[in-house]
Amino acid sequence: MNIFRLAGDMTHLISVLVLLLKIYATKSCSGISLKTQELYAIVFVTRYLDLFTDFISLYNTVMKLVFIGSSLAIVWCMRYHRVVRRSYDRELDTFRYWILLGVSFILALVLHEKFTLQEVFWAFSIYLEAVAILPQLVLLQRSGNVDNLAGQYVFFLGAYRAFYILNWIYRYLTEQRFTRWISCVSGLVQTALYADFFYYYFISWKNNAKLQLPA
């Protein structure tokens, strides 16, 4: 464990807590893409298949349970909570995410570390996570101005993967046998997808204006 990875995990945890806070406190999920939340639930379930077979550390196990639990709770809330579900922007959240699922799965069948069920699903979850934010970014662009908690959620989510890139550089430099190309390349793509959002987020923060994404 290094400081970059810990910072990344904490930032990731904050992004999830910000989202849960927004939904719980305001009893509203306006501006939040259910499709992105469902993709993230799939990412965590398919990535942590080794939850009960490989014990890495208490921290690792607890964080896996938190991520799986919170992502499923958010999806449940947005789908079935009688108050929250009314504020879901169903007509704006129309990203055809089956494409993302299909492409990620085919890519995982081709590119993986070992051809085992667990490794193929792990690679699938890495590829899927890189593109899971797309429905959310599209929804933010369609709904124009971003209410600040939704914007903060995307900001922290993007920042966590940026910290992980620093973690991979650090591990590459310190551990002679560290070769996680699948994670590294996919993480770079993922962070690049956030780049334009970060730009507009920074501009709005600098001008202390509401975040306006170009339609």
Partner 1 sequence: TRDQNVHDEL
Applying CB under 8 A, which residues contact partner 1? 5, 9, 12, 47, 50, 54, 56, 60, 63-64, 67, 113-114, 119, 122, 164, 167, 177, 180, 183
Smallest distance from partner 1 to CB 4, Å: 11
Smallest distance from partner 1 to CB 56, Å: 5
Q: Which is nearer to partner 1, 113 or 147 (CB)?
A: 113
Q: Which is nearer to partner 1, 126 or 211 (CB)?
A: 126
Smallest distance from partner 1 to CB 77, Å: 23
Q: What's the rounded Cα separation, in Å, for the pair 158 and 164? A: 10
Q: What's the rounded Cα separation, in Å, for the pair 188 and 186? A: 5
Cα separation values, 8 from 15, 69, 126, 195, 211, Å: 11, 19, 15, 17, 24
Residue that the structure tokens 């081709």 belong to: 110
Q: Which is nearer to partner 1, 12 or 22 (CB)?
A: 12
Q: Which is nearer to partner 1, 54 or 196 (CB)?
A: 54
Through-space distance between the first and last CA atoms of the chain, rounded to whole angstroms: 41
Cα separation values, 98 from 65, 95, 104, 135, Å: 26, 9, 10, 11
Smallest distance from partner 1 to CB 54, Å: 5
Smallest distance from partner 1 to CB 193, Å: 19
Q: What's the rounded Cα separation, in Å, for the pair 107 and 186? A: 11
Smallest distance from partner 1 to CB 96, Å: 28
Q: Which residues are CB-contacts of 38 (< 8 A; sequence separation ≥ 6)?
A: 75, 97
Q: Which is nearer to partner 1, 22 or 112 (CB)?
A: 112
Q: Which is nearer to partner 1, 176 or 207 (CB)?
A: 176
Q: What's the rounded Cα separation, in Å, for the pair 124 and 191? A: 17
Q: What's the rounded Cα separation, in Å, for the pair 181 and 168? A: 9
